[in-house]
A = this chain, B = another copy of it.
Amino acid sequence: MGKWEGFFSKETSSLKSSEIRDLLKLTEGKSVISFAGGLPDPSTFPVEDIKKIADEILETKSASALQYTATAGISELRKQLVSFTGLRGVTGINENNVFVSVGSQEALFMLFNVLVDPGDNIVVEKPTYLTALNVLRTRKPQFHGVPVTERGPDLQILESELKKLHSEGKKVKLMYVIPTAQNPAGTTMYLDDRKYLMELASSYDFLVVEDDAYGFLVFDGDNPPPLKALDKEGRVIYLGTFSKILSPGLRLGWIVADEEIIREVELFKQNVDLHTPSFNQFIAAEAIRRGVIQSNLPKTKSLYKEKRDYMINAMDKFFPSSVKRTKPVGGMFIFTWLPEKFNTVQLLQEAMNRGVAYVPGSSFFYDYSGTNTMRINFSFPNKAEIERGIEILGNLIRSKL
């Protein structure tokens, strides 16, 4: 027991470190090929444009850009986000429906704190985004899992779970869902399924937190509108992020929601950090206004598609046929299923000794199932690393068969 351990909150000291973050630490400065994080390829950063924009902001608006600002975000950015989210088909909103956060991580943190109490019935996909799960776990809800199929969450299972809970006099409060280029599964919900999910949400009266982190990064097939575009009742809370389409280092995300929910998040954020950095917000507002992000997207998508295909080829070459994998339609990850006997948490140390890191898939299941799965990132490593890393992983798996 550490010297100060007795002083730590009993409520929060049970927090476990995110495996991704710990991995990032372990691989720092080492020659490990990392398939672990969700880092963009830095060649996609529009550096020259950001430089020009930063210069002009400091020349013309420094008194605002370096000063405190409103908790919900600067008006310039909230307005730009109304039209930018419109590119995804979300209409009928105004700047009061938009809230700027420190990455979409902070949006998840605030929303789950504002909305979820211990014991609340919460629906999540199996698997789903690890750090959203980590925040949800701190709220001690009752989790209900819906398996992800090739067309997104299995709505038949969801509906029968909703029915069952209803017959027990219980009510689901919210569902956290990533309908487009799901993290980690890489699947996208069909339009009909999206409509049906909204009907279920309406019938059973629950909120939907829609994480659209990869909505602008779909490079295969259809890209149907987000749930928020189908939302007639204001029950969808939409989350966007600049991390995958401009720069994660600026730490900017946004929420689109009913004003009443925005106001509650605003009260919470006053305590968390007063507001999101003003300078960064001005940069993002200008990057949208000048079309920098919009014109940068095709290049990013084609690069990621190329890297995905390259990784899939490497997997087909080096992985034994008993390993199953997704073919993601967008985003940054391939999800794989090893034979049942594998435990990818235990396998990780050996993989790292051989020079490769990934994220064990069980981190993405609320019940820590999926012990034979792994999430593999293709956006950050270069082609040589993809080829070499997949070969190492393949050899390691073969040696254990």
Residues on A lying within 8 angstroms of B by beta carbon are 2-5, 7-13, 15-18, 21, 24-25, 28, 37, 39-40, 42, 45, 47, 50-51, 54-55, 58-59, 62-71, 101-103, 105-106, 109, 113-117, 131, 134-135, 138, 173-174, 207, 234-235, 243, 247-251, 258, 260-261, 264, 266-268, 270-280
Contacts of A51 in B (CB 8 A): 54-55, 58-59
Given known A54-B58, A134-B270, contact A68–B249 (CB-CB < 8 A): yes
16 contacts between A and B (CB under 8 A): A7-B115, A7-B173, A16-B267, A39-B67, A42-B66, A45-B66, A50-B62, A51-B55, A105-B271, A106-B272, A109-B272, A109-B273, A134-B270, A249-B279, A273-B273, A279-B280
Cβ contact within 8 Å between B70 and A42: no
Residues of B within 8 A of A24 (CB): 68, 70
Q: Which 4 A-B pairs have the closest CB atoms?
A: A249-B278, A66-B247, A42-B63, A106-B273
Complex Cα spacing A13 to B114, Å: 7
A228 to chain B, nearest CB (A): 15
By the criterion CB–CB under 8 Å, are A276 and B264 in contact? no
Residues of B within 8 A of A250 (CB): 66, 277-279
Cα-based distance from A281 to B17 in the complex (angstroms): 23
Q: What is the chain B residue whose CB lies nearest that of A10?
A: B117
16 additional A-B residue pairs with CB within 8 Å, beyond A7-B115, A45-B66, A47-B58: A9-B116, A17-B266, A17-B267, A24-B70, A47-B62, A51-B59, A64-B249, A105-B272, A105-B273, A109-B271, A131-B271, A251-B273, A251-B275, A273-B273, A277-B277, A279-B280
Q: How far is the CA of A71 from the CA of B103 in the complex (A)?
A: 13
> Does A271 contact B134, Cβ atoms closer than 8 Å?
yes
Is A260 a contact partner of B5 (Cβ separation < 8 A)? yes
Closest Cβ of chain B to A130, distance in Å, is 10
Decide yes or no: A277 and B274 within 8 Å by CB, A12-B268, A66-B50 being known contacts: no
Instruction: With CB as the reference atom, state the residue of chain B lying closest to A235.
Output: B4
Residues of B within 8 A of A17 (CB): 266-267, 270
Query: Could you tell me the distance between the alpha carbons of A249 and B243 in the complex, rounded to whole angstroms?
Result: 20
Q: Nearest Cβ distance between residue A160 and chain B, in whole angstroms?
A: 23
**A72 to B, closest residue via Cβ:** B25
Bound together, the chains give a CA A4 to CA B234 distance in angstroms of 9
Q: Are B39 and A271 interface neighbours, CB within 8 A?
A: no
Known: A103-B273, A260-B2. A247 touches B67 (CB 8 A): yes
Taken together as a complex, chains A and B put the C-alpha atoms of A119 and B42 apart, in Å, by 48
